[in-house]
Amino acid sequence: MAKPVHPIYNLHFALVCLSSFLFSCSFNMLIPELPAYLSRLGGAEHKGLIIALFTLTAGISRPFSGRLTDTLGRVPVMAVGSIVCFICGFLYPILSTVAGFLFLRLLHGFSTGFKPTATAAYVADIVPRERWGEALGFHGICFSTGLAVGPAIGSTISLYFSLNVLFYVSSFFALMSIAILMNMKETLKDKRPFSLSILKISRKDIIAVEVLPTAVVTLLSYVAYGAILTVIPDWSQHLGIVNKGLFFMVFTIASLLIRFVAGKVSDKYGRISVINTGLVLLVISLSIIGFAKTVTGLMLGGVVYGVATGILSPALNAWTVDMSLPDHRGKAMATMYISLEAGIGLGALISGWFYQDVISMVPAIMYASGIVATIALIYMGLRHKTKIKRLQPVIIESEI
């Protein structure tokens, strides 16, 4: 008798996906307009810090969010992330100096340090192991839809209204995300009441060593994203694109389309081969973007980049869950996200240093990002070769 298929697409899954979509819209709608906004404030030389500071606090908060996710529960930690987005949207128009802006980028980073960690653990709780890739892939579609829609909405609001209106709309989207979370059922069974002792983090609470391979590949593959967030808005404007969110919309739509099958493919054929395919496409996409001197070329690079990230993201998420310990799933996801934030932050910081509003530096930055992604591909190959060598004595003994 055939085993019944678990219905992963239920109300709880729909709510967490909708909340993530709104949360993603909230902070992503700001990204295309922030470099020019910082220049108007007089901080053009600090453009690399727009993303770097955001990812710094996101990374720092990951061990705490992982610990809280495994003790207080998934829903409260998700709510903290959305609340931070809600507050920051109202503060941007008030703290309108370079120092105030950079402080807010630090504060805003706590949002992604909390919500995605708890969300991934929540999805893993309500979905059977054999369908993690599919479920995380579909959830990624919802999050990435916010990544596509958010920048387009943000640039449109900036063109026809003002940046202050954009900041307030960002807060409104975060508020809707919070409202949805209030109706979600908690999935952590053994919850503990909050106490200050929970916030005491030791070295063993920071990194889940069992998922370090995923962390290494994630860090190296997301350096490119930090660079893209920093320089592509200006590069788009240089090529004559009025809506600086267009590139982000194009690559995200491509990412969305491939995610419909990427998660299922990783469940069926394994994470490693899917990750390797994504890394190859990532290197190709960065080469295309660097070489592009026309809008068509840039959009082509965006499509290939979107396909690459659409393949990589669900596979890396599922690979992390595969290797995680059941009682420390929050810590495992936090480890993966720490490496993700570190990759984005390093990419943004280094590209910002080299860029300095010199538009001719953009192609070189893209090529350098491609080299970093190639290192990730080499690491995967070496890891696979080492694993085979370790297995060979066991195979020989069994044959004897």
Confidence category of residue 156, pLDDT binned at 50, 70, 90: confident
User: Residue range 293-303: average pLDDT?
Assistant: 93
Confidence category of residue 387, pLDDT binned at 50, 70, 90: low
Residue 399 has pLDDT above 60, yes or no: no
End-to-end CA gap in the chain:
38
What pLDDT, on a 0 to 100 scale, did the predictor assign at position 1?
A: 41
pLDDT in tens, 21-48: 999 999 889 988 888 888 888 887 787 7
What pLDDT, on a 0 to 100 scale, did the predictor assign at position 313?
A: 85
In total, the chain counts a number of residues equal to: 400
CA-to-CA distance for 278 and 282, rounded, in angstroms? 6
Q: What percent of the chain has pLDDT over 90?
A: 27
What pLDDT, on a 0 to 100 scale, did the predictor assign at position 265?
A: 80
Higher pLDDT, 4 or 222: 222
Confidence category of residue 396, pLDDT binned at 50, 70, 90: very low
What pLDDT, on a 0 to 100 scale, did the predictor assign at position 370?
A: 95
What pLDDT, on a 0 to 100 scale, did the predictor assign at position 88?
A: 92
Higher pLDDT, 132 or 297: 297
pLDDT in tens, 354-374: 887 788 999 999 999 999 999
What pLDDT, on a 0 to 100 scale, did the predictor assign at position 395?
A: 39
pTM of the model: 0.68
User: Residue range 345-350: average pLDDT?
Assistant: 87
Is there a contact between 339 and 218 (Cβ–Cβ < 8 Å)? yes
Instruction: Classify burial at 396, counting beta carbons within 10 Å of its beta carbon; exposed 0-12, middle 13-18, buried 19 or more.
Output: exposed
Residues with Cβ within 8 Å of residue 212, at least 6 apart in sequence = 335
Instruction: Classify burial at 249, counting beta carbons within 10 Å of its beta carbon; exposed 0-12, middle 13-18, buried 19 or more.
Output: buried
